[in-house]
Amino acid sequence: MLAPLKTNIGPKPPALSYRLEEAPNGVVRVVWEAGECGLTTAQLLAAPTDDEQRSQVNEACRVMTELLSDGPVPAGPGDALKRRIAEEAGVSLRTVDTAKAKLGVISRKEGLGAGWVWMLPAGRWQAYPQDRQAAGVTTFAPPLRSSHEAAPAQRALQPAFEEVL
C-alpha cells in the first residue's frame, strides 16, 4: 500500500496498492494494482482489530517484558534481540516492533564501544528498585564482598588503623 499521511497542497489522494514481482530478466519491478485500494491512511495505521492480531501483540509484549524486566538487555548484532523475541513469542518481526511501541521500550546506545540496549521505561521495571539492583555492584567503588569475605580484610587493617589513633 502507498497512502498519503499528510498533504497541505490539496485534498488527500486515495491509497494505492502495488506488488513486487520478478521480471523475466531477474530484476524486481513494481506492478500497480488497478484502481484505489479502498482503505484510508487511518485504517492502514489503526491498531489491530481482530483477536488473533491482538493476542500476537500481547504475547510479544509478555515475552519482551519478561526479558527486559531485570533491566537493560543488549540488542546484539543486527536484529538479534528482536529475532529472539519473535522466535520465543512465535510472531513476526513487525509484531515485535508493534509490541515494542506499545510497551514504550527504549533503545539506547551504551557507551562509545558498546552496542545498543533495550529497556523498559523506568516505571515498568523498577517497581521495587531494591529487587532490581545487581548484587555486589556499587558506583565508583570496588565490588562489594559478603561479610564473611570482608572480615579477614578488616582484621588485617585493624592494627594499622589503631596506630594512627
- Please report the pLDDT score of residue 60 as a whole number: 92
Helix/strand/coil for 92: coil
- Please report the pLDDT score of residue 50 as a whole number: 65
Spatial CB neighbours of 22, under 8 Å, sequence gap ≥ 6? 28, 29
Q: What angle do CA 51, 55, 56 make, to 5 degrees?
A: 120
Q: What angle do CA 14, 16, 17 make, to 5 degrees?
A: 155
**CA–CA separation, 110 and 104 (whole Å):** 18
- Please report the pLDDT score of residue 48 as a whole number: 60
**CA–CA separation, 40 and 164 (whole Å):** 81
Q: What is the pLDDT along the chain (165 residues), one digit of tens a residue?
A: 788 888 888 888 888 888 888 888 988 888 888 777 767 777 777 666 666 667 888 899 999 999 998 888 888 887 889 999 999 999 988 888 888 988 888 888 877 777 888 888 876 544 444 444 554 555 555 555 555 555 555 555 555 555 555
Domains, the chain: 1-46 (no CATH), 51-132 (1.10.10.10)
Q: In what order do the strands lie in the sheet with 73-74?
A: 73-74, 116-119, 106-109
